[in-house]
Amino acid sequence: MAAKKELAIIMIVFTLVFMLTSCGANSAQKGDKLKVYTTIYPMYDFAKKIGGEKVEVKNLIPFGEDTHHYEPSVSDIIDLNKADILIYNGAGYEGFLEKLKQSVENKDLVFFDASYNLDLIFENEEETHDPHTWLSIKNAIKNLENIKDIFSRLDGGNAMYYENNYQKYKAEFEDLYNEYKEKFKGYKNRSIIVSHDAFGYLCKEFGLNQVPIRGINADDEPNPLKMSQIVQFALDNNINTIFYEEALNSKISETIAKEIGGKTDTLYPLETLTGEQVNSGEDYLSVMKKNLDAILRSFN
């Protein structure tokens, strides 16, 4: 009798151990938290908002650097070989993506396109699009939803947790959208002069117009003709603010501002924030509110 009972207990213990190890094989294999990498700041912020304490998020491109001309390093590849997922913006933003896919040996790494199902602005007939998708708040909400869906698929045990975070931030992003909508009422077709061609989505969403000093990849410094055209445009349209961004050289904005007897102000495309901004708790919501205030200041 006693022997039978012992055997039964041993069997139960074996079964439990087997269940625990087999359950863990899918998601807990690499530790309890999903190891998430992101390419640019908005994806980093959105992944943290949805993933909360259940995920570990690291951004590939160092904060404060020019994101358009980034090339992955050997240590990036080593990091990605230990990760579960790389969330990239997509819509053509990450020119280095194909090379990265070929270099990473980690067969389990999920490459996730966060711009899946977004409304894109097409730049030309070759179907290249403006990749600064997150500057539409509606698109940013869709980014959150996409990230929530992929986290839930990779880590089903925490699906409810991700869903709750999504609902919470969706509501906050909708409040931000409504604030923009309300405050821009009566400012239809107003123009902003910006440091690079990044604000197309924001302008389209709220009926504004951007005049960029540099192109969509922020690389071409304007020639004297372009500079004089921008100066003329500002004078013709009573614009007294020239926006710059911290990751790019602000000298050109300062020169134009001087020419028109105006001033410069910061407008963040959010591709990157400085490390200090991130550490001090700035995020998409707080920076987009700063952008709203800065644009409104420029109209007055």
Question: Binding residue for Zn ion (CB under 5 A) from 40, 141, 176, 198?
Answer: 198
Which is closer to Zn ion, CB of 47 or CB of 198? 198
Residue nearest to Zn ion (CB): 198
Query: What is the nearest approach in angstroms of Zn ion to the Cβ of residue 205?
Result: 17
Query: What is the nearest approach in angstroms of Zn ion to the Cβ of residue 196?
Result: 6
Tell me which stretch binds Zn ion (CB under 5 A): 4-12, 42-50, 86-94, 194-202.
194-202
Which is closer to Zn ion, CB of 51 or CB of 212? 212
Which is closer to Zn ion, CB of 56 or CB of 66? 66
Which is closer to Zn ion, CB of 194 or CB of 198? 198
Q: Should residue 135 be labelled a site residue for Zn ion when binding is judged by CB under 5 A?
A: no
Binding mask 76-105 for Zn ion (x = CB under 5 A): ------------------------------
DSSP codes, the chain: -HHHHHHHHHHHHHHHHHHHHHHHHHHGGG-SSEEEEESSHHHHHHHHHHHGGGEEEEESSPTTS-GGG----HHHHHHHTT-SEEEE--TT--TTHHHHHHH---TT-EEEETTTT----B-STT--B---GGGSHHHHHHHHHHHHHHHHHH-GGGHHHHHHHHHHHHHHHHHHHHHHHHHTTT-TT-EEEEEES--HHHHHHHT-EEEEEE-TTS-PPPPHHHHHHHHHHHHHTT--EEEE-TTS--HHHHHHHHHTT-EEEE----S---HHHHHTT--HHHHHHHHHHHHHHHH-
Query: What is the nearest approach in angstroms of Zn ion to the Cβ of residue 28?
Result: 38
Query: What is the nearest approach in angstroms of Zn ion to the Cβ of residue 176?
Result: 21
Query: What is the nearest approach in angstroms of Zn ion to the Cβ of residue 271?
Result: 5
Residue ranges in contact with Zn ion by CB under 5 A:
198
